Structure 1
Amino acid sequence: MGLLETTISGRKRRNSHAHVVSELGSAIVSGRIAEGSLLPNDAELSMRFGVSRTVLRETMKTLAAKRLVEPKAKVGTRVLDRSSWNFFDPDVLGWRCEAGIDQEFVKHLAEIRLALEPAAAAAAALQASNEDIVSLYVIAAKFDNPQHTPESIAKVDLEFHLAVAHMSGNPFMRSASGLIEAALAISFQLSSPAASPDTIAEIASNHLRIVHAIAARDADAAVKAMRHVIEVGKDRTQKAIKTV
């Protein structure tokens, strides 16, 4: 289950390893466990979570891979500074979302999307196959449904943007899928266009412009259309934060 679905629906399924990773990761990213501090020793953590030492070792390996902690012999496992954290990791992004959304975080997410997704749209315009374009039209048509729920339209939006990233042919673009999903999860959680048929129609039209530009092999128009979609989403989210 991805970040977008769990953020909107609240449903989570975890085994013991995933549970401990989530509890510790969330505590670190939220600041409940301070940067630079040492985690409790294995015996204490094992007792607290009711898991084996083997599960704890795997947990620490997972958190270290996310650049949240660093184990050192004879010292212990230290929480790394925020500047080291891998915010491209979907779990880290999810924990950051759970910690609370503010204007700065929305701005930063939009900035990285604006740096990547318009370029992906331009690349798609230059090299997407006819089959790719037909598939993108099919996805775009799914927006035009006044019966959308927040979850259903969010899934369509994610499918669309990931398809454009795939059509770019650039594996680095595809690797940014976690950032795209986080931005959409936040946006649709705070202010879903599903609340208004007029807004759904606007979203559908804006995304269709991207497809038309790609189909016309017009890279500049694809860039402009994608930037507009991202800016509209950012503005909608920031307005929603102000009213919370």
Structure 2
Amino acid sequence: MILKSAISGSITRNSHARVVDELGKAIVGGIYSPGAVLPGDAELAERFDVSRTVLREAMKTLTAKGLVVPKARIGTRVTERSTWNLFDGDVLIWHLESGNDPEFISNLAEMRLSFEPFAANLAAKRANGAEIARLFACVEAMEKADAMDSFAVADLEFHLTLLEISKNPFMFSVGSLIEAALVTSFRLSSPNGEPRRQKATSDAHRTIVKAIAAGNGNEAATAMQAVIIDGRDRIAGQITRS
């Protein structure tokens, strides 16, 4: 969902989702800072041209994401960032849309480094031949991609497939973090259109698969770590130059 939204540049939203999206972006983007009280129901209902029922449901959604908390006789207050659910796809999108924050991107890379290399290690121990073939197919799709969006989709498919074949369900549940990181890469530094770099990136992913196929977990983990660090540094370089 995150990547598809970034590729298309838009997403169809009903009234409830539109209110959630606009208020969520305003909160994450700092228009409403932690501790601030949101405008009252009447004002927001008029602003978004929605019923009080739709507005209440939107507030429940934002509350579930950890962004706001209702306070009796006070109103709906924005919570501290430490309570926000950063594993939530919408919250990640709002972070990405609020600008290229080097600290956020660095934190995202640190999280990936904490679990993806280990997932690669597990895959080397648990993957069967058909699953390894799926990974090789993803690499081939990356190498042959003739557009940025097709490269990004193949890249995402590679990493989500690897989490899946680690056969640890908790691994797959954090796939949204990878998707957010690849959206940033898609927007700032996709190698598509640069044949040499596209091949180098594809080869780096192929190195991971070869290590998994050989049953060498340590090599697979090291190769995955190198891929994540390379992507992180490339994005940081683009932000510095922009």
Q: Same fold (TM over 0.5)?
A: yes
TM-score per shorter chain, which class?
Answer: over 0.9
1:60-86 alpha-carbon deviations (Å, 9 max, x no partner): 111011100111333321110111111
* Aligned-partner SS, 2:142: coil
Letter in 2 for 1:224: T
Instruction: Report deviation, 1:224.
Output: 0.6
* Aligned-partner SS, 1:231: helix
Instruction: Report deviation, 1:140.
Output: 1.5
1:28-63 alpha-carbon deviations (Å, 9 max, x no partner): 000001111111121111111000111111101110
TM-score (norm 1): 0.96
Give 1:50's aligned residue: 49
TM-score (norm 2): 0.97
Give 2:198's aligned residue: 200
- State percent identity of aligned pairs: 50
Structure 2 segments unaligned to the other structure (5+ residues):
none
Query: Runs ≥4 in structure 1, deviation > 4 angstroms?
Result: none
Deviation larger for 94-103 or 69-78: 69-78
Letter in 2 for 1:13: T
Q: Which of 209, 213, 225 is equivalent to 1:211?
A: 209
Q: What are the within-5 Å matches in structure 2 for residues 1-244 of structure 1?
A: 2-145=1-144, 148-244=146-242
Distance 2:216 2:66 in 1: 40
* Aligned-partner SS, 1:204: helix
* Aligned-partner SS, 2:143: coil
Letter in 2 for 1:181: E
Instruction: Report deviation, 1:222.
Output: 0.6
* Aligned-partner SS, 1:38: coil
Distance 2:32 2:5 in 1: 24
* Aligned-partner SS, 2:192: helix
Computed over aligned residues only, the root mean square deviation of the Cα atoms, in angstroms, reads: 1.1
Letter in 2 for 1:155: V
Distance 2:241 2:4 in 1: 24
Contact 1:9 1:151 in 2 (8 A): no
Distance 2:105 2:40 in 1: 36
Distance 2:123 2:39 in 1: 49
1:6-48 alpha-carbon deviations (Å, 9 max, x no partner): 2233122111111000000000000001111111121111111
Distance 1:90 1:61 in 2: 17
Distance 2:85 2:52 in 1: 25
Between the two proteins, the alignment pairs up a number of residues equal to 242
Contact 1:153 1:194 in 2 (8 A): yes
